[in-house]
Structure 1
């Protein structure tokens, strides 16, 4: 059944479940990252935490994508939410027994990241089955606006709750939101797109189909290479944002929450803008212009003096808005042109390649920041974004990537 706007009602149920799950994940991540920052005051410890969050998507993405294309996507999301809730319950028990330390937190972040990769892949691969093609860019904007709204709400909520409750009480919120998300998903049916069927175990051939599709798409390959370089420089910067607040702006949890909320407010504004406007006729133009703007914002954040915290809030707002214009159209392109039976594999291959060298960035982020300062990562990341966006506008295969997308997988 479809709502009057032509979008399946099942999509809205999935979207509500995703919103609940994402809020819990953002809240717990804020609480754990702040605990690490305050307990250790170590850039290296924060870098290790972010590295553990990144690794599952990079290393396991293609396999997870193949499983998403084979398995029931609703079941994947239900299992992922239930697994994350179980991990959080384990952390609550450790905290109540005063046995919580870096080891269990690192393990929890790593395992939750695996489940979040399953959840994200299943969600994104389901959208094209539930939403008409003409609405994909606007749904991408709506999803970015949701992310921004939660970015704006979750950090201050986490900071407020950390001031009012012990850590176990804050973590319990994630368990509640996961349970509500599972309840919403319980009433949804997601169509099976066909493809290679659920009976056989996943083999290399199925994984290779996703790799082969991307290999034959030259514009996507170039864009993915740019994305990998950008993530190598930008991911460490935002992983070290708590230390930028503590060391440079001389702030605390509320200041960190304010910065993340400003980013979230920008994402909301960008999502609403993209949802209403839809972007330029060539969706890739929206991405590349947004990338230039996001680079300028990140660079500015790295150059601001210590007394300019109010300006940092404005810069984060602009960066969040430009982030939506950068990422939203890319997802819409993939969902519009990639065959539904391949979307789980292609989306995770793209995600894995873009994140391929991010672990190296995170591995060196702590020592570099401790030696040269946290701001060097913001300057380098901002320059990389702006240059990549400008260069991409001059590469025909990138600008025409939507028209040049492969129709399917070549026969072996």
Structure 2
């Protein structure tokens, strides 16, 4: 774990800078447009190019030095971020610039995220996979504790250029730790490769071979009914959850008259919840049945989003965001522990890429849908004084942000329902049997420190 912790500290530092830049961009866009859709489009443009790049990223992660991939992707993302600051400094930054740069960062970020996710089985013993995954979740949430407050304080003083320069300095720390960390090479397992050749016989023609390599992850998931069911379940959760993630910041800005200090405190509370959840999970180790951890996390997240949507004052919003983030490490760490136990390291890049691609499509669709539904349907409906306002206004409110609150409430209800139904699905219970069958494969590929 020592090697992983050293690498993790560098990633935590870089995440603080990146979160400051993202928060400052949200403020800049809200000041320019007062539109939830405009903010949601940052995430949409960040994710959409990854639909194309994700299969290639998975193939690269299985074929190229993972350390070199991380250095390349981190460096490219840093230069893209710096471009935002330079354009802002010359007062020529436009919305389309932000979206274009977000798309470029999304491509490099996809390579970085997929490659980083495959490192845990190489440098951490399998008994610590859930703990390591929870620490990975802590990176983003830890940054959320400090970044909004720092960005909110410094943005009026140093602008986007100053924020991005801070981001570059934290990137330098991450690169320094990455260069020093020894990352073992992937050791192929002949028996597993032979089984793969039998399952997917070689064909003539380079194009077809490449196609089979790129689609390997999708075919593998489709061939395992229990894993396919798990992916479908987590995808439904991701769609519903992303509705709330997209809208909660513009909802708070709308309901507080653009009060960035209140938003910063609530984002910090969200980060604090994620850190607490990751710490608890690191000490506890999670549910023995990983599927139970996923489903309990669904229910806890859904209840928190219900509170967020129905709440009308900052203290309750902060509690709700704390609770939502508290459960996220449980969901994602339990989910990743299943993959680490099931998939041999030399195939993780392609299979994780397939799963990641599904997630990108789901979250991009949710993000775009959330902005459009809020701005064009629910916000006008709840402020019009018509039937929706009459029947739901007493619960949700009828002022600015009420339409977004309604959609967040609905997503919370759906998330709780998915968690409850999941305990009744036989294919999800079968995942635990598959894990027991494949633990011996994981032992061959685990490096300890």
Residue 218 of structure 2: aligned partner:
211
Q: Distance in 2 between matches of 1:195 and 1:110?
A: 34
Residue 16 of structure 2: aligned partner:
23
Shift of 1:251: 4.6
TM-score by length of 2: 0.83
Aligned residues: 397
Q: Distance in 2 between matches of 1:332 and 1:154?
A: 29
Which segments of structure 1 move beyond 3 Å, counting only runs of 4 or more?
56-59, 405-408
Shift of 1:110: 1.0
Q: Does 1:397 align with 2:390?
A: no
Q: Distance in 1 between matches of 2:144 and 2:42?
A: 19
Q: Does 1:279 align with 2:272?
A: no
- State whether residues 247 and 408 of structure 2, in contact with CA within 8 Å, keep that contact through their aligned partners in structure 1: no
From 64, 69, 83, give the equivalent of 1:71.
Answer: 64
Q: Distance in 2 between matches of 1:349 and 1:155?
A: 33
Q: Deviations over 1:225-250 (max 9, x none)?
A: 22323333332332222321122243
Residue 237 of structure 1: aligned partner:
244
Q: Distance in 2 between matches of 1:91 and 1:77?
A: 22
Residue 141 of structure 1: aligned partner:
134
- State whether residues 298 and 382 of structure 1, in contact with CA within 8 Å, keep that contact through their aligned partners in structure 2: yes
Q: Distance in 2 between matches of 1:375 and 1:59?
A: 33
Residue 161 of structure 2: aligned partner:
168
SS in 2 for 1:250: coil
- State whether residues 231 and 355 of structure 1, in contact with CA within 8 Å, keep that contact through their aligned partners in structure 2: no
Q: Pick which of 364-373 and 32-41 moved more.
A: 364-373
Q: Distance in 1 between matches of 2:320 and 2:365?
A: 27
Gaps of 5+ in 1: 1-6
Shift of 1:115: 1.1
SS in 1 for 2:434: coil
Q: Distance in 2 between matches of 1:195 and 1:60?
A: 25
Q: Does 1:322 align with 2:324?
A: no
Residue 29 of structure 2: aligned partner:
36
From 337, 356, 375, give the equivalent of 2:361.
Answer: 356
For residues 387 and 59 of structure 1, do their structure 2 counterparts lie closer, same or farther at Cα, with a shift above 3 Å needed? farther
Q: Distance in 1 between matches of 2:422 and 2:95?
A: 41
Q: Deviations over 1:138-185 (max 9, x none)?
A: 112222233322121112121111133222111111111112211221
From 343, 346, 350, give the equivalent of 1:341.
Answer: 346
Shift of 1:363: 2.8
Shift of 1:290: 1.1
TM-score by length of 1: 0.91
- State whether residues 34 and 242 of structure 1, in contact with CA within 8 Å, keep that contact through their aligned partners in structure 2: no
- State whether residues 337 and 402 of structure 1, in contact with CA within 8 Å, keep that contact through their aligned partners in structure 2: no
Q: After superposition, where does 1:3-402 map in structure 2 within 5 Å?
A: 7=1, 9-195=2-188, 203-305=210-312, 308-370=313-375, 371-372=377-378, 373-402=403-432
SS in 1 for 2:243: helix
For residues 336 and 361 of structure 1, do their structure 2 counterparts lie closer, same or farther at Cα, with a shift above 3 Å needed? same
Q: Distance in 2 between matches of 1:390 and 1:248?
A: 32
Q: Deviations over 1:192-239 (max 9, x none)?
A: 21459xxx9982222222122211222222222223233333323322
Task: Identify the structure with the greater helix proportion.
Answer: 2
Q: Distance in 2 between matches of 1:302 and 1:222?
A: 29
- State whether residues 15 and 139 of structure 2, in contact with CA within 8 Å, keep that contact through their aligned partners in structure 1: no
- State whether residues 392 and 399 of structure 1, in contact with CA within 8 Å, keep that contact through their aligned partners in structure 2: no
Q: Distance in 2 between matches of 1:321 and 1:302?
A: 17
Q: Which of the two has higher C-alpha Rg?
A: 2
Q: Deviations over 1:233-271 (max 9, x none)?
A: 332332222321122243522111111111111111111
For residues 195 and 111 of structure 1, do their structure 2 counterparts lie closer, same or farther at Cα, with a shift above 3 Å needed? farther
Q: Distance in 2 between matches of 1:291 and 1:87?
A: 35
Q: Distance in 2 between matches of 1:341 and 1:321?
A: 32
